Structure 1
Amino acid sequence: MLGVALFVLSSTTVQLWAQGSLEDYERSKNLRGRFRNKVVMAEIEPNWEPNNQRFWYRHSLPGKKWKFMLVNVNKPQPYPAFDHNDLAEKLSQATGNKVDAKKLPIERLDFTDQENIIQFYIEQQTWAVDINNGNLHQITSETNVRRSEQLENTLRSTQHTGKETYITFHNETEAMVQLLWVDHNGHQRCYASIPINQEHQQHTFVGHIWLLMDSKKRHFGIYEAQSHNTLVVVSGEPLETNPISTNNQATQTETILSPNGNWLAWIRQKNIWIRDENGKAFQLSYDGNQDHSYSQDSIHWSPDSKKLVAIRKRNAEEHLVHTIESSPNDQIQPKLHTFNYLKPGDHIEYQQPRLFDIRSTKNIPIASELFPNPWSITHLRWAEDSSEFFFLYNQRGHQTQRIIAINANSGKSKSVVEEKSNTFIDYSQKTYLNWINGGHELIWMSESNGWNHLYLYDVRKKQLKNQITDGRWVVRKVEYVDEKKRQIFFQASGIYPKQDPYYLHSCRVNLDGSNLVFLTEGNGTHTIQWAPDRKFFVDTWSRVDQAPIHELRRARDGELVCKLATANWNELIQSGWQIPQRFHAKGRDGETNIYGIIWRPTNFDQAQKYPVIENIYAGPHGAFVPKSFNEYYDQQEIAELGFIVVQIDGMGTNWRSKKYHNFCWKNLKDAGFPDRIAWLRAAAIEHHEMNLNQVGIYGGSAGGQNALSGLLHHNEFYKVGVADCGCHDNRMDKIWWNEAWMGWPISSHYEDNSNVTHAKKLLGKLLLIVGELDRNVDPASTMQVVNALIEADKDFDLLIIPGAGHGSAGTSYGKRRQKDFFVRHLLHKEPRWSKQ
């Protein structure tokens, strides 16, 4: 009887069915395409009229159909922009072509000066409809024709964005013509290549600048988009000389002009030179050399043009990393690739500000006791009255940050803001400073009270004025500062205690900390689109288990004006899509909620037991569990083979309290594993289909380090792991990321956190994957693990992918090998078996 009882007990923990077949692999590979475009009305694009009282949007319908809707901010619900059936019938009569009322070929709508008249466009023809009585008429206006000889030859950036419009370009030259948009920063972006004797219609906005040039980068000129239809004919020869830019900021690469226009500064042989108003040139600095130099972008004139400050930099050490491309495409022999790549502990660029009086040409010594060991000196700016200048000092080790003021006459230094931490300051994710009120006040972001919040400083008094936000939640991003109303609009997480603390919400608060308003409320993560006057906004919110909902809300108090639309996911569900499941459970302390997601295969059978695989990425710079809706998640591809896949954010990841984040400090091997395991055990109690006797883990980059760490330090729980391009020893990885969490100087904790150090502890099945040309994480990091495993006489699998870079497990071959590894060692089946 005892033997029978034991058999019954053990048989409940194994799979009673077979998966990992060729059919499962094919289904897994095709999931993305199977689910694509199966959600209707997932997005909304409001198009506001000039007075901000109405907007229109295109409402998508099932069957690739649509309708046009109007919204009036004073009405409780959207309504059709016009009678679609009547308009379709009238357009059919007017054009002689059958028009489908649910597929009106309208490119866009435009509001007019008459509230009841809306213009729209079909194939470059302009129509107007009276939305009250349905009257339709075509607006006939001659198309404005411009030839390239008539175009401007002064290149400039786009200065403003008006309403939508279209331009038609016709190429009458004897070569291909390139069409480039010149954006607001003067950057050029190619949008089209127009063949000989061909036309191209370009959607754009009034005021946008378009550049035409040939394949040799010779320019035909520029055209600024107008509200009326325009045909631009490109003909003749390009200009002999390229257009000249009037944008000083974009082109002033040789000299920097003083504010009063009397002085020019530039760099010659690593030093600063000045030319005065009479054209006389003289050398200002003499301490620039091959190892210590000034750069053009570090020069900052005082507003009164009497002084100049620049950053003198001592070069960082050179740390060369070499990789070998075994199988280059252009030769038989391997290639050596070498690049500079600083690692933790290396000598970094050393920055020091230098202050000069222009008339006397003297260097004014600066007291440097407040910035002795900079990781960086950034955000340099002058006071409006030229009495002092400021910069942000981040001390190496990232435990001290200061806003420092330097007296322009004496060179004395004083702290405006001082931030210290016993662990680390999350400078890469949470640095925010905004000078307002003419530079007399400063908005500063800090975790000094244990949560990421905003503070207001009095710059003149160099002291805290007041805390702006406060509470057991975090500011995620400052979206807009209204200086006139003294209000801040920002994104935050954790503001609703009963919601997932990672959900993004929009808020507003006064600079003095009063009148905090939560503008969004739905139980999900939110993105908003503002009306131009910022009195209303469209709020779109969703969760992984809820398709997007679109609402119009009032900016004054966040009150709902009307519901616009809810995305329709019926077709997605009918296609077999399994809704991801949100789950939370207590972490290692028995008090803190840990949040994650569960994915199941499309043919999920609740009566069966499934091995569980964790997709891990515990990088402290973020939180990584998806919060918004998506048709497809990569984790579904592995789940489809017969697994339950989970993703969890454990302690040590970002965007909770500082205490929660601090678990990563000098402790990356922790990776939140005690929280992850507690979460998985709680989930398995509630969901009996999860078989925790068969648990796998995989990840890439920091996730690769984490995946191997799971098999080294928690191999009683994790049995199978795939580690891709892992930063297995933090002394081998990029300097900024690792010193941010592991600190500086380098000491024994780096060695203790290394997977190389603990390789001898390996139990379970391990697949290491690495691309031979990885430039993000040194491939030697993986190979040093390989060496340690061999020295410890451990069995493991190694896949080196020739020619691949970072994330090579994401290649088609890498994906397949990863899947095979889990099927073979968790399902205990030979991968891609066939029933035939």
Structure 2
Amino acid sequence: MFRACLFTATVVGGLACTMTKHPTPPAAPTWPPDDPSFIEQYASTFGFRLGAPQEITIAPDGDVLFTRTPPRSFVSDLYELDIATGEVRTLLTASQLLGGDDEHLSPEEHARRERLRKATRGIGGYQLSEDGARLLVPVSDRLFVVDRATAAARELATGDGFPFTPTLSRDGARVAYVVDGDLWVIDVDGGAPRALTHREGTAVDNGVAEFVAQEEMDRTRGFWWSPDGTQLAYQHTDNTPVDVLWVGDPAHPDVEPTPFRYPRAGTADAIVTLAVVPVAGGKPTWIAWDQARYPYLCDVDWSPGAPLTLVVMNETQTELAVLAADVKAGTTSVLLTETDPAWLNLGALTWRADGSGFLWMTERNGGWQLELRRRDGSLERALTDPQLPALSLEGYDEVAEVAYLAVADTQPESRIWAVPLVGAAREVSATPGIDDIVVSRRGGTQVVVSLPQTGGKRYSVRRDGKEVATLPSVAEEPSLQPAAEWTTVEVDGHTQHAVIIRPRAFVAGRRYPVLVHVYGGPHARQVLATPRAYLLDQWYADAGFIVVSTDGRGTPGRGRDWERAIHKDLATVPVADQVGALQALGARYPELDLDRVGIFGWSFGGYLSAMAAMVRPDVFKAAIAGAPVTDWALYDTFYTERYMQTPQANPQGYQVASVVAQASRLERPLLIIHGTTDDNVYFANTMALVDALFRAGKPFELLPMSGTHMTTDPALALALQRRQLTFFRAHL
């Protein structure tokens, strides 16, 4: 409940709720004027992401398809690059397909896009048939099949309801999709849609990935075509055991709250099973495995020449198994198992084109390692050394039999390495920075997306190792170039990477207040070897601060032991490493005024900001917590229990890592910002902290923002950054 808060200021999209004010710092500095042109440009371009190529796909003939918006619009259209000529043509536009109709999305599609952090509209995705001749293009609540050569589009008559996660069969002859929790199929060349499942009630879904699969396992799909297109494997999800949370927007009390099935830590997950059904209709064959031992269905793969393959995991996430299914008998056999006493990260599985074996990523030997496994799961050979700091498997060229890995070669970079199944690995990246790659399974063409350490962004189209074209971006170029310095510091016997952003008008001999921009948790690095990551930080620096970031233990890319240092306690080590790195930087760089330090971040970074301000007020003099998890018992099972176990098994760890439990220790100014309809980190997290702070008599500021965790309104984004800047200027 909102208790006795006085609303004192209004901003676009939110209200600033302020309790008792903290004392003004003894000496208020004279601040330089901030740059209005840059921050307005940043807000209007969605952080310069609008206008950049997205959803890149390489066709069998080597041409490249991609979506792109205008530089200040969220509506995507579809384009094609002719690799022979380098020319780009507009293949399809959203307005062309909709014919002037408005775009409509179901609540399930809205939620799926939230899981993918996808903000664009129009042609947000598409699928190319195996031969490259036709495309499936979903727009709004309609499905279109498009002839790629002529761009002629034909709408499929899918009937009533929103067609969720539509997918082409490999031969392009049929489309499967989900409507209202049931799996349907329709022939591309005509005919009525056919329901393949009939759910038992509204708490049951067929063909839909449950919440934790979408949010935490990177699995957004709940059904899979057989290679020959005659069968579909689908997950059957019984959500009955899962708590229902109702999300309403206080800014729109006339709109009915939306129910979400959300399993909080220590509560029951959905019950997920798997079945295979003929596309022609008939009874499903249920696939059996030891579900009591492995309740999580983490991944499913059905590749040509290979068995239907499952990756399943136990509830404590300390053991997983890769299973091969016999789709006729409904039985499974174990191909391999993995164990870890702390937790297992999910790796990647990719079958060879002939089904004779598969690639597998494992951390078994202390760091991510790529292995080649035989068809029966036995190890043929390791393809990389665990000392190579691999991050992920990015793609596989089936013709050349070459895998492509993202490698943190010299932290904080991310370079692309080519790893052949036979022969020596080699680096593909040409320059230092952050690289990503899109690989054609049929070989030949690749697209390397580069964020060089020298600045800029490139989309290099390569053929046989040579650049033949670039994908054109229409994104605006930032009006400033960050002045970032990358360095390392020693903290309690280990090395941490850090980055420092000084004002472009930096004056030697002057001391500046410091802002620590933090994430500090699993899955994401804050220190990246590209100035594009620090555009917003440079704006803050130019406004009179020095901004620093560091990646402590628990962040990815530094090996198994480094990441698992946070096991059962998400607070102590992350806070200590932020403090240790900050103090080491302050000892080296006298321009950092460690008597005036603020900390800010979002999501895990918001949590860590609030926690740091409470437990180390001697270091952090002000904090902004964006969408913080304030009590890990309020976050989802799969993420939280991986690191913290359950609240029942680790009550002390949950107490130590709870911001709510530390609320009475708050001594410093704290601004909490949260979207009221956030369906990942629920607003209940912020209200629990607000209640605890109020009961303890602690002053704080609250900015509740109407909407979820993606701020797409430029006016709202602009107001948010200015509000944060004003807060730090007032308190530092």
TM value normalised by structure 2: 0.69
**What residue in structure 2 maps to residue 315 of structure 1?**
239
**What residue in structure 1 maps to residue 30 of structure 2?**
19
How far did 1:471 drift?
Answer: 3.9
**Aligned in 2, Cα 1:670/1:807: closer, same or farther, shift over 3 Å?**
farther
Aligned length: 617
**What residue in structure 1 maps to residue 724 of structure 2?**
818
Partner SS state of residue 633, structure 1: helix
Percentage identity across paired residues of the two chains: 20
**What residue in structure 2 maps to residue 448 of structure 1?**
364
1:694-705 mapped onto 2 (5 Å cutoff): 694-705=596-607
**Aligned in 2, Cα 1:807/1:823: closer, same or farther, shift over 3 Å?**
farther
Partner SS state of residue 418, structure 1: strand
Unaligned runs of 5+ in 1: 1-13, 53-106, 113-117, 119-161, 181-187, 193-205, 259-263, 271-287, 565-570, 827-836
How far did 1:503 drift?
Answer: 1.3
- Following the alignment from structure 1 to structure 2, what is the Cα–Cα distance between the partners of residues 546 and 598? 16
Q: Does the Cα contact within 8 Å between 2:516 and 2:598 map onto a contact in 1?
A: yes
Partner SS state of residue 372, structure 2: strand
Please point out which of 709, 718, 724 is paired with 1:806. Answer: 709
Please point out which of 680, 693, 701 is paired with 2:595. Answer: 693
Q: Does the Cα contact within 8 Å between 2:287 and 2:327 map onto a contact in 1?
A: no
**Aligned in 2, Cα 1:723/1:483: closer, same or farther, shift over 3 Å?**
closer
**What residue in structure 1 maps to residue 335 of structure 2?**
416
Query: Does 2:544 match 1:619?
Result: no
**What residue in structure 1 maps to residue 616 of structure 2?**
714
How far did 1:397 drift?
Answer: 2.2
**What residue in structure 2 maps to residue 393 of structure 1?**
312
How far did 1:722 drift?
Answer: 1.3
Query: Does 2:536 match 1:525?
Result: no
**Aligned in 2, Cα 1:736/1:626: closer, same or farther, shift over 3 Å?**
same
Partner SS state of residue 629, structure 2: coil
Q: Does the Cα contact within 8 Å between 1:545 and 1:581 map onto a contact in 2?
A: no
CA RMSD between the two structures = 5.5
TM value normalised by structure 1: 0.61
- Following the alignment from structure 2 to structure 1, what is the Cα–Cα distance between the partners of residues 400 and 136? 37
Residue type of the partner of 1:799?
Answer: L
Q: Deviations along 1:719-778, whole A, 9 cap, x unmatched?
A: 211112211111112333323322347431223311111222223222223333333311
**Aligned in 2, Cα 1:211/1:335: closer, same or farther, shift over 3 Å?**
closer
Residue type of the partner of 1:798?
Answer: E
Query: Does 2:458 match 1:458?
Result: no
**Aligned in 2, Cα 1:759/1:519: closer, same or farther, shift over 3 Å?**
same
**What residue in structure 2 maps to residue 250 of structure 1?**
175
**What residue in structure 1 maps to residue 552 of structure 2?**
650
How far did 1:710 drift?
Answer: 0.5
Partner SS state of residue 250, structure 1: strand
**What residue in structure 2 maps to residue 587 of structure 1?**
491
Q: Does the Cα contact within 8 Å between 1:622 and 1:655 map onto a contact in 2?
A: no
Q: Deviations along 1:492-525, whole A, 9 cap, x unmatched?
A: 222xxxx3x231222222325x422223353333
**What residue in structure 2 maps to residue 341 of structure 1?**
262
**What residue in structure 2 maps to residue 351 of structure 1?**
272
Query: Does 2:502 match 1:600?
Result: yes
**Aligned in 2, Cα 1:511/1:761: closer, same or farther, shift over 3 Å?**
same
- Following the alignment from structure 2 to structure 1, what is the Cα–Cα distance between the partners of residues 274 and 406? 35
How far did 1:393 drift?
Answer: 0.9
Q: Does the Cα contact within 8 Å between 1:457 and 1:463 map onto a contact in 2?
A: yes
Residue type of the partner of 2:315?
Answer: R
Partner SS state of residue 758, structure 1: helix
How far did 1:535 drift?
Answer: 6.7
How far did 1:526 drift?
Answer: 3.4
Q: Deviations along 1:582-640, whole A, 9 cap, x unmatched?
A: 1211233x23x211221122332122111111011123022132322429611123223
How far did 1:435 drift?
Answer: 1.4
Please point out which of 665, 684, 687 is paired with 1:780. Answer: 684
**What residue in structure 2 maps to residue 673 of structure 1?**
575
Q: Does the Cα contact within 8 Å between 1:35 and 1:577 map onto a contact in 2?
A: no
**Aligned in 2, Cα 1:402/1:212: closer, same or farther, shift over 3 Å?**
closer
- Following the alignment from structure 2 to structure 1, what is the Cα–Cα distance between the partners of residues 224 and 81? 48
Partner SS state of residue 642, structure 1: coil
**What residue in structure 2 maps to residue 766 of structure 1?**
670
How far did 1:381 drift?
Answer: 4.0
Residue type of the partner of 1:321?
Answer: L
**Aligned in 2, Cα 1:293/1:209: closer, same or farther, shift over 3 Å?**
closer
Give the structure with higher Rg (CA).
1
Partner SS state of residue 336, structure 2: strand
Q: Does the Cα contact within 8 Å between 1:165 and 1:226 map onto a contact in 2?
A: no
- Following the alignment from structure 2 to structure 1, what is the Cα–Cα distance between the partners of residues 425 and 519? 34
Q: Does the Cα contact within 8 Å between 2:455 and 2:531 map onto a contact in 1?
A: yes
- Following the alignment from structure 1 to structure 2, what is the Cα–Cα distance between the partners of residues 356 and 554? 40
Q: Does the Cα contact within 8 Å between 1:376 and 1:395 map onto a contact in 2?
A: no
**What residue in structure 1 maps to residue 661 of structure 2?**
757
Q: Does the Cα contact within 8 Å between 1:351 and 1:377 map onto a contact in 2?
A: no
Partner SS state of residue 674, structure 1: helix
Please point out which of 639, 643, 646 is paired with 2:541. Answer: 639
Residue type of the partner of 1:327?
Answer: A
Residue type of the partner of 2:681?
Answer: V
Residue type of the partner of 1:438?
Answer: D
- Following the alignment from structure 2 to structure 1, what is the Cα–Cα distance between the partners of residues 204 and 297? 16
Residue type of the partner of 2:384?
Answer: T
**What residue in structure 2 maps to residue 502 of structure 1?**
412
**What residue in structure 2 maps to residue 492 of structure 1?**
407
For structure 1, which segment, 800-809 or 525-534, has the greater mean C-alpha deviation from structure 2 after superposition? Answer: 525-534
Partner SS state of residue 620, structure 2: coil
For structure 1, which segment, 465-474 or 665-674, has the greater mean C-alpha deviation from structure 2 after superposition? Answer: 665-674
Unaligned runs of 5+ in 2: 1-24, 63-78, 104-119, 125-131, 160-167, 188-192, 209-221, 471-476
How far did 1:823 drift?
Answer: 1.0
Q: Deviations along 1:464-513, whole A, 9 cap, x unmatched?
A: 1211111422333334434444332333222xxxx3x231222222325x
Residue type of the partner of 2:606?
Answer: G
Residue type of the partner of 2:427?
Answer: F
Query: RCO greater where, 1 or 2, for CA within 8 Å and sep 6 or more?
Result: 2
- Following the alignment from structure 1 to structure 2, what is the Cα–Cα distance between the partners of residues 601 and 338? 46
**Aligned in 2, Cα 1:710/1:607: closer, same or farther, shift over 3 Å?**
same
- Following the alignment from structure 2 to structure 1, what is the Cα–Cα distance between the partners of residues 441 and 348? 25
Partner SS state of residue 630, structure 1: helix
**What residue in structure 2 maps to residue 432 of structure 1?**
348
